[in-house]
């Protein structure tokens, strides 16, 4: 397992110190994992299903956070696939590394600390798939979000897939909780625990805060067609789109031509 430090020669300053702290605390304490609502995990499962990673191929998880996507790819990694986690925050890498250790996936997992708004420290056409789950929307500048999609196109092999999901403009924290509870309705014990113990914290420590940043415009909520166009403008052929995250997220699959 190689966690090769910063790939761009220095720590990124693009995230404000408040957000660095917000995610760092979440990743270090594992609150981020524990409080993620079911609808978010479902959206991650859709990304994993759509990636179509096959034997020996390398997937880039761009803005990987604590590596929540990793457990969903184990079968494919066991058949020789490689997972590269990229994030600007060291706490995300520490969490990813610990997860890979727990799962005994050290040989299939590596990490690079890099900023998605800068040239990515990867060669052209060097990965088979890119997953960007709820990461690009946190780049405050439109040009940086465009740049990130262009860089994903550059590092993908011809025919490679980008699967990205981001919040919609109509992001609704309460609706995400309702959708999550609906998904858990056949798991009685989990339902009660999540409804009364976990999701009140999810709502007030996480989702409401994100909703506020999206409404203020600091983070970017996408119109569905806007996300599809952004991926197409970066040079991808659009293969699939769908609504995820209880209606608060939109997912786009693009294929490099
Ligand atoms: C909402 S979390 C999503 C993490 C993960 N993809 C998931 O679905 O659990 C957003 C992630 O994007 C990362 N991020 C934000 N801005 C970034 C940037 N400029 N470069 C690289 N990563 C960034 C954050 O550090 C954080 O880990």
Residue with the nearest Cα to atom 14 of ligand 1? 63
Q: Which residue has the tokens 């805060």?
A: 209
Coil vs helix vs strand at 101? helix
How many angstroms separate the alpha carbon of residue 252 from the centre of ligand 1? 17
CB distance 226 to 248 below 8 Å: no
Mean pLDDT, the chain, as a whole number?
93
Coil vs helix vs strand at 255? strand
| Nearest-atom index, ligand 1, CA of 132 | 6
How many angstroms separate the alpha carbon of residue 136 from the centre of ligand 1? 7
Does 192 map to a domain? no
pTM for this model (two decimals)? 0.94
How many angstroms separate the alpha carbon of residue 189 from the centre of ligand 1? 31
Does 65 map to a domain? yes
- Closest C-alpha to 45, from 165, 137, 149: 165
Does 120 map to a domain? yes
> Pairing mode, if any, of strands 82-87 and 156-167?
unpaired
CB distance 243 to 250 below 8 Å: yes
Does 241 map to a domain? yes
What's the confidence (pLDDT) of residue 3?
A: 67
Does 121 map to a domain? yes
| Nearest-atom index, ligand 1, CA of 144 | 19
Handedness of CA 95, 97, 98, 100 (dihedral sign): positive
What's the confidence (pLDDT) of residue 8?
A: 74
What's the CATH number where 26 sits?
3.40.50.150
Q: Residues lining ligand 1, judged by CB closer than 6 Å?
A: 12, 14-15, 23, 44, 63-65, 68, 87-89, 92, 115-117, 133-135, 138-139
Does 138 map to a domain? yes
Does 207 map to a domain? no
Query: In tens digits, what is the pLDDT along the chain, a chain of 257 residues?
Result: 576 566 675 555 666 777 778 888 999 999 999 999 999 999 999 999 999 777 789 999 999 999 999 999 998 888 889 999 999 999 999 999 999 999 999 999 999 999 999 999 999 999 999 999 999 999 989 999 999 999 999 999 999 999 999 999 999 999 999 999 999 999 988 999 999 999 999 999 999 999 999 999 999 999 999 999 999 999 999 999 999 999 999 999 999 99
> Rounded to an integer, what distance in angstroms lies between the CA atom of residue 210 and that of residue 190?
24
C-alpha torsion 123→255→38→247, nearest 10:
130
Does 21 map to a domain? yes
Residue with the nearest Cα to atom 10 of ligand 1? 135
Query: Which structural domain range is residue 123 located in?
Result: 3-171+219-256
CB distance 239 to 161 below 8 Å: yes
What's the confidence (pLDDT) of residue 108?
A: 94
How many angstroms separate the alpha carbon of residue 134 from the centre of ligand 1? 7
Label each residue of 90-153 as H, E or C. HHHHHHHHHHHHHCCCHHHEEEEECCCCCCCCCCCCCEEEEEEECCHHHCCCHHHHHHHHHHHH
CB distance 74 to 51 below 8 Å: no
How many angstroms separate the alpha carbon of residue 63 from the centre of ligand 1? 4
> Rounded to an integer, what distance in angstroms lies between the CA atom of residue 65 and that of residue 74?
17
How many angstroms separate the alpha carbon of residue 147 from the centre of ligand 1? 16
Total structural domains within the chain: 1
What's the confidence (pLDDT) of residue 146?
A: 98
* pLDDT tens figures, 58-87: 999 999 999 999 999 998 888 889 999 999
Report how far Cα 29 is from the mean position of its chain's Cα atoms. Answer: 19
What's the confidence (pLDDT) of residue 5?
A: 62
**Exposure of 215 in the CB half-sphere (CA atoms within 13 A):** 9
Residue with the nearest Cα to atom 26 of ligand 1? 65
């Amino acid at each position: 397992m190689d966690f090769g430090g910063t790939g761009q020669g220095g720590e990124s300053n693009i995230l404000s110190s408040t957000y660095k702290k917000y995610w760092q605390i979440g990743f270090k304490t594992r609150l981020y994992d524990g409080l993620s609502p079911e609808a978010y995990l479902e959206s991650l499962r859709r990304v994993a299903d759509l990636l179509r990673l096959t034997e020996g191929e390398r997937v880039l998880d761009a803005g990987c956070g604590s590596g929540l996507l990793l457990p969903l790819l184990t079968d494919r990694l066991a058949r020789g696939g490689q997972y590269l986690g990229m994030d600007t925050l060291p706490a995300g890498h520490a969490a990813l590394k610990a997860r890979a250790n727990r799962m005994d996936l050290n040989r299939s997992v590596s990490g690079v600390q890099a900023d998605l708004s800068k040239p990515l420290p990867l060669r052209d056409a060097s990965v088979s798939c890119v997953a960007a789950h709820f990461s690009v929307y946190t780049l405050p500048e439109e040009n940086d979000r465009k740049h990130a999609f262009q860089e994903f196109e550059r590092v993908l092999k011809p025919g490679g897939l980008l699967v990205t999901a981001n919040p919609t403009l109509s992001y609704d924290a309460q609706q995400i909780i309702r959708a999550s509870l609906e998904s858990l309705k056949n798991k009685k014990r989990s339902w009660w625990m999540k409804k009364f113990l976990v999701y009140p914290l999810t709502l007030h420590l996480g989702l409401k805060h994100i909703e506020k940043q999206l409404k203020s415009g600091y983070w970017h909520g996408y119109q569905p067609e806007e996300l599809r166009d952004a991926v197409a403008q970066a040079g991808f052929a659009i293969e699939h789109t769908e609504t995820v995250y209880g209606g608060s997220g939109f997912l786009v699959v693009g294929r490099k031509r």
